[in-house]
Structure 1
Amino acid sequence: MHHTSARLLALLSLLQARRDWPGQLLAERLDVSPRTVRRDVDRLRELGYPIRAIKGPDGGYRLDAGSQLPPLLFDDDQAVAVAVALRLAVTAGAGIEDDAARALSTIRQVMPARLRHRIDALQVTPVAWSGAPQADSGVLLALSAAIRAGEVLRFDYASEGAPSQAANGAQPQGAPPRAALRSGAQTLGAATGAPRRAEPHHLVARRGRWYLVAWDLDRADWRTFRADRITPRTPTGPRFAPRDVPGGDVAAFVTARFRGSDVRDGTGEPNGWPCVGEVVLAKPAAEVSRFAGDGVVEDLGPDRCRLVLGSWSWTGLAAALGRFDADVEVVGPPELRAAFADLSRRYAAAAAR
């Protein structure tokens, strides 16, 4: 009996490893006869595994999706990867923390001791993004289904300041004005209660929030919609032909929208910051580089460095450079120098009050 049970587990592991298996190849891998393979397949079917016979010259088997989730087999590395992913689920922003905790407890109970030790030794304290709202998992599934089916999405969208955004929190520090994002918050026909219509293309996660990247049919332009503000309507609309996001890279496209940019920067790279300046700071390069983000730092000596940095506005860039707490020499462009002058007047007025 033990030999049969072990053979069934080995057969199940093979069926999970690839889509189709010829019957003769399974018999050779298990070192049994094709007849024994057929009997073992029948036993797995009785246990609830939907194994379909494949017709053809060689014949074979395929493990299909069923109506319920049967027991699964993982190798050691897969089991550890699943456990780590479940521990980090709190940062996903998808409202699945409790379900992830229950799933992790279930998996850990059936893990062999050697794997439980590996998981327990990995002490992870996941920290969710402060103020990031939780997107409803049902909404995320509905958006994903519309993307996969290529169907126009009809939905209601909560505009800025609506009651449903009470948990949204403040705009992230250093973010561009929301209007610069060309986001779905620019509601058209909101007063009439008309649903939005968009061709959904990508569902992306960024800093604990979920966004739908879609072609807005009412504006004939690309938009990013926050998933926690979306209420899908049914039924969905007609099918549409897929489009390519500008630049062909959805990650770069979303990053550019949050930078307030659709243009190329001075290096010719697409989706760069709309405002890029160059300064010399009276501070060592090693200290500046730790906080320069995607800026470029050049060492000019023990207490001087050159910094090329970008931002969504000239005023925002000048303010960001001030945080290095060092004397600043503006190399260019003139817009950055003017932004420093404007900030100096504001700060002097604030100090005088």
Structure 2
Amino acid sequence: MARDVERDTTERVLTLLGLLQQRQIWTGPELADRLGVTPRTVRRDVDRLRTLGYQVHAAQGVGGGYQLGPGPDLPPLLFDDEEAIATAVSLLVGAGGGAGAAALRALTKLDRVLPTRLRHEVRALSGSVESFGGGRASVDSETLTTLARTCRDEVEVGFDYPSGDQLRRRRVEPHRLVASERRWYLLAFDLDRDDWRSFRVDRMTEVSARTWRFRPRVAPDAATYVQEGVASRVYSRQARFLVHASAETVRSRFSASAAVVRPRGAELCEILSGADNLDAVLMRVLLLGHEFEVLDPPELGRRCRALAEALLKAGERSQ
């Protein structure tokens, strides 16, 4: 009997903590009504929380009530199911960006304490996400969860996606979610086009798992494929350069979505980038301030010579 009373008290105190974390301020009668106890019991439970280190402030009069305040240390937090999944998504974004190892450690701790019914959701996200660049996109967590689950379970997914001025229903075999510094993408095998394709998650609507399972295909590296698409294939023209500088140095001058930079040695790297007008890419490489060579396309090399002659003439006239 004593154990039952203790268990009921513990559950009630945890429920009280959850309520205080949900809203700025609660009156005593409101908390008593939500917990099904008397205001006196609420006061005792508040004292129990204070004993555990929670800073619970109480104010009398109109507008008064109980308020959970900041303490000297971070206390345990209580999440409902949706908040736990949303937190996992945010941590995944952070793990792909500047937060790095700290976000990954936090995600691991969250996974350890999640109830069984939610743990597979977080692991679905963790196992189905890759990134390049900063990974700071923000999209609907339910959509991400659905896509991550279909990647994990090898189940086809359907969604509406813009095609010109219309929305088309797409059927794909999902492979990986990829986070760039601005957006989320899904790398999937497009069953209508019979080829691999990346889709922007923020453009997807009416996302739903289908009932058809599929056998995984040999897939390209997800992060590399999506980055090359964002930086190059999406444009009508592509160019490659060999730059006499380290890949690390060049990456610090280009965003991950603007160019793919591959090391070719300690002081050499290759740049792959695209644009509708390659003069823009050429000028960006020129302004790096390092020697470079045009690898593709050949006409861009001729364009370099023409621009060099024009600049030389301009310099001669200004003397």
Relative to the length of structure 2, the TM-score reads 0.44
More strand as a share of residues: 2
More helix as a share of residues: 2
